């Protein structure tokens, strides 16, 4: 491996402006994580217009910082309020809040900060080694491989999305349909534009993401505004003791590896990693009954794993051009807006951006560790901001930001329309994640499919005779059929009950 | 390969923070019907674009496949959706959402004519005072502060060509 570009990447990230963007990203991420409601995907979507004015490397460094910063921020509310700020911090509630009730909130937050740092750093080191290898391998990918990969990615994200699988697939199809709107890339003819000039160039990704994730979430919480607000538990003695560190070192080690692996997989990511790491520790423990009662490992494992996964989920995005989850889909959109096409060529053609972003994660993890513990008091104060105050501020930033995408009021109307759709989807049990991911991958999928069919002379068996696309499609079939097989196996058990 | 989600019994039970009523079978059936209609509309649109053949895909080929998938998924939802409980019932406070949406559309309608400052102030005041039940004092302070901050960020610092009065 040529380490020249890696070292140059450190030069890029240590530029004062980029360091500042990294710092801003991590702080915003932690704040977002603290505030229940808006997740990292929504925040990144809302802040996309601000990044238009920043050059590509700085913009992506900041957005990446928001993502992994949010993983730690979500922990604070899980521990102190029993209210997970992020989906990936849901399991931290069990033991984190139990520790807080025993007067050990500081220990829980401290061990989470250490775990997040170790998990994130292990993941970046592994990513630095693995990412160029994956990118090199993917250079041989042609349209059939991309067709199979995009199909598998969409199916996996739909499979693990919250809510019903059928509804997730409906959401994914809606995303694919929205991606069709505009000019056909092959013939230049307009499709589903209904004669509108605004739709001739297709739907912009930014208003869709801002509306579905940002406004949809706000509108949904507006409806449930009478939510009880709990008083945060007092925090003191934040630094974990040696005994705590010793007790959780195994969980941190295993969480790092598990998080890294699950983060790479499409549909995996931080949420899945935190759940799996918690379950693994509980299963391994000689005293599983301690879990839920304030076991330090019950905080260390998921917090380590979610940061490791947040970092490694950049690998499929930066090396294959395939976002592994909804937040990566938004970062994918941010890269496209900046004129950067993520994919296997990125390492070779734009090493400054690739290694700048990867290496910024080392710096970001150090910043997280340094700031998270002393800033706990500040974050606790932020929690006192009422949702009734936060909602209109976010709405206004979203609307003004939407205008700045193309300087058009049509985009504001589009954001509002997708906000309404996002709200309705939440009410109806449809996850917006698969829709956004499918929208992002829709153009790639259609182009690859049409090119492949032209290549094969219309013979679809061509997909299975090529080894990589064949394996990917076999995986697609297995994932698609797995629930049916599981359902059959469970039937007799259900009948006995 | 994606791992199976850990079994729920692996986790201790926690109290739920809010209680939301689940929607009845009619809501799920309406969703299924909408999906089928959307799918059928997509198929019709695709046919008018021309669906070509496997060896010569046309602009309508891909939308045709998506439309067919939507119809199949919608029908499957109609059959299985009666038993699902992941949809929420619409409640009286759902009206707040409609009011919020109208206020945003109003903002979009006038920003091009009178600049963003006044519509922003009006939007903030409506959300804070009417939807959020904030006091007049905090409504005034937060509205003015937010609009000033946005002005400084978008107009003064980033020089974004957003319509503005001042």
- Residue B154, chain A, CB below 8 Å: the answer is yes
Give A429-475 as a 3 state SS string.
CCCHHHHHHHHHHHHHHHHHHHHHHHHCCCCCCHHHHCHHHHHHHHH
Residue A392 distance to chain B (closest CA, Å): 6
Amino acid B143: pLDDT: 96
- DSSP assignment of B74-120 equals HHHHHHHGGG---SBPP-TTHHHHHHHHHHHHHHHHHHHHH-SHHHH
Amino acid A169: pLDDT: 92
Ramachandran angles phi, psi of B19, nearest 5°: -110, 125
- Residue B150, chain A, CB below 8 Å: the answer is yes
Amino acid A229: pLDDT: 52
Number of A–B residue contacts, CB under 8 Å: 232
> What whole-number distance in Å separates Cα of residue A132 and Cα of residue A138?
10
The mean pLDDT of chain B is 85
- Residue B37, chain A, CB below 8 Å: the answer is no
Question: What average pLDDT does the segment B143-164 reach?
Answer: 87
Give the model confidence (pLDDT) of A184-231 as tens digits.
Answer: 988 888 999 998 888 998 998 888 988 998 899 889 888 876 454 555
Is the CB of B10 less than 8 angstroms away from the CB of A283? Answer: yes
**What secondary structure letter does DSSP report for A52?**
T
Domain ranges of chain B: 25-83, 94-157
Domain ranges of chain A: 4-488
Amino acid A179: pLDDT: 95
Q: What is the ipTM of this complex?
A: 0.87
For residues B100 and A46, the model is more confident at B100
Amino acid A493: pLDDT: 36
Amino acid A46: pLDDT: 81
Q: Which residues pair with B22 in a beta bridge?
A: B88
Mean pLDDT by 10 residues, chain A (497 residues): 76 90 89 73 80 85 86 78 74 87 84 89 89 86 91 81 80 96 90 91 88 88 64 64 88 94 79 88 89 90 91 88 85 85 85 87 85 76 80 90 85 94 92 89 92 91 90 87 64 38
Amino acid B4: pLDDT: 41
Is the CB of B142 less than 8 angstroms away from the CB of A393? Answer: yes
Give the model confidence (pLDDT) of B10-49 as tens digits.
Answer: 455 444 444 567 777 788 889 999 999 999 999 999 999 9
- Residue A189, chain B, CB below 8 Å: the answer is yes
Listed in order, strand segments (DSSP E) in A37-84 are none
Whether B3 shows a pLDDT value over 80: the answer reads no
């Amino acid at each position: 491996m040529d380490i020249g570009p890696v070292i140059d990447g450190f030069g890029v990230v240590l530029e004062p402006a980029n360091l500042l963007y990294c710092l801003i990203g991590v702080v915003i991420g932690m704040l977002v994580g603290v505030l229940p409601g808006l997740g990292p995907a929504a925040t990144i979507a809302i802040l996309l217009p601000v990044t238009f004015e920043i050059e590509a490397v700085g913009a992506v460094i900041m957005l990446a910082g928001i993502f992994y910063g949010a993983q730690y921020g979500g922990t604070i509310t899980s521990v102190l309020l029993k209210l997970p700020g992020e989906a990936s911090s849901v399991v931290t509630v069990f033991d984190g809040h139990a520790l807080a009730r025993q007067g050990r909130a500081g220990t829980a937050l401290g061990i989470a900060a250490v775990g997040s740092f170790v998990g994130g750093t292990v993941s970046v080191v592994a990513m630095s080694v693995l990412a160029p290898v994956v990118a090199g391998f993917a250079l041989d990918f042609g349209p059939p491989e991309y067709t199979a990969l995009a199909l598998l990615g969409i199916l996996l994200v739909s499979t693990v999305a919250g809510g019903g699988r059928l509804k997730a697939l409906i959401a994914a199809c809606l995303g694919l349909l929205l991606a069709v709107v505009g000019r056909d890339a092959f013939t230049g003819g307009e499709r589903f534009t209904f004669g509108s000039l605004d739709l001739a160039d297709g739907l912009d990704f930014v208003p869709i993401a801002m509306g579905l994730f940002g406004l949809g979430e706000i509108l949904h919480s507006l409806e449930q505004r009478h939510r009880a607000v709990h008083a945060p538990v007092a925090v003191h003695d934040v630094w974990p003791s040696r005994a705590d560190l010793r007790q959780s070192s195994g969980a941190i080690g295993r969480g790092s590896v598990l998080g890294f692996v699950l983060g790479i997989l499409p549909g995996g990511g931080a949420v899945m990693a935190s759940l799996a790491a918690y379950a693994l520790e509980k299963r391994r423990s000689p005293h599983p009954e301690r879990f839920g009662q304030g076991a330090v490992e019950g905080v260390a494992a998921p917090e380590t794993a979610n940061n490791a996964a947040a970092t490694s989920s950049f690998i499929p995005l930066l090396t294959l051009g395939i976002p592994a989850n909804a937040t990566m889909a938004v970062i994918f959109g941010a890269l496209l807006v900046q004129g950067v096409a993520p994919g296997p060529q990125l390492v070779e053609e734009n090493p400054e951006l690739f290694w700048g972003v990867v290496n910024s994660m080392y710096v970001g993890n150090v910043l997280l560790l340094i700031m998270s513990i002393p800033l706990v008091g500040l974050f606790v104060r932020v929690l006192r901001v009422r949702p009734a105050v936060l909602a209109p501020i976010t709405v206004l930033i979203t609307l003004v930001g939407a205008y700045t995408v193309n300087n058009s009021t049509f985009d504001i109307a589009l954001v509002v329309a997708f906000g309404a759709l996002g709200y309705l989807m939440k009410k109806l049990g449809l996850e917006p994640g698969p829709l956004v991911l499918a929208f992002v991958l829709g153009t790639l999928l259609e182009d690859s499919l049409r090119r492949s069919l032209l290549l094969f002379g219309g013979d679809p068996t061509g997909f299975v005779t090529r080894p990589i696309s064949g394996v990917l499609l076999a995986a697609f079939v297995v994932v698609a059929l797995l629930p049916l097989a599981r359902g059959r196996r469970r039937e007799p058990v259900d009948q006995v009950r | 390969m994606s791992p199976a989600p850990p079994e729920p019994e692996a986790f201790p039970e926690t109290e739920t923070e809010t209680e939301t009523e689940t929607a009845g079978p009619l809501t799920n059936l309406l969703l299924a019907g909408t999906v089928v209609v959307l799918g059928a509309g997509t198929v019709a649109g695709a046919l008018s674009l021309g669906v070509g053949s496997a060896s010569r895909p046309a602009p309508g080929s891909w939308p045709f496949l998506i439309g067919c998938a939507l119809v199949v998924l919608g029908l499957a939802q109609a059959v299985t959706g009666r038993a699902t409980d992941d949809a929420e019932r619409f409640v009286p406070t759902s009206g707040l959402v409609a009011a919020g949406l109208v206020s945003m559309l109003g903002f979009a309608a006038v920003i091009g004519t009178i600049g963003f400052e006044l519509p922003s102030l009006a939007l903030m005041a409506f959300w804070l005072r009417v939807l959020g039940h904030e006091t007049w004092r905090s409504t005034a302070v937060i509205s003015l502060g937010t609009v000033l901050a946005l002005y400084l960020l978008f107009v003064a610092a980033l020089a974004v060509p957003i319509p503005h009065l001042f």
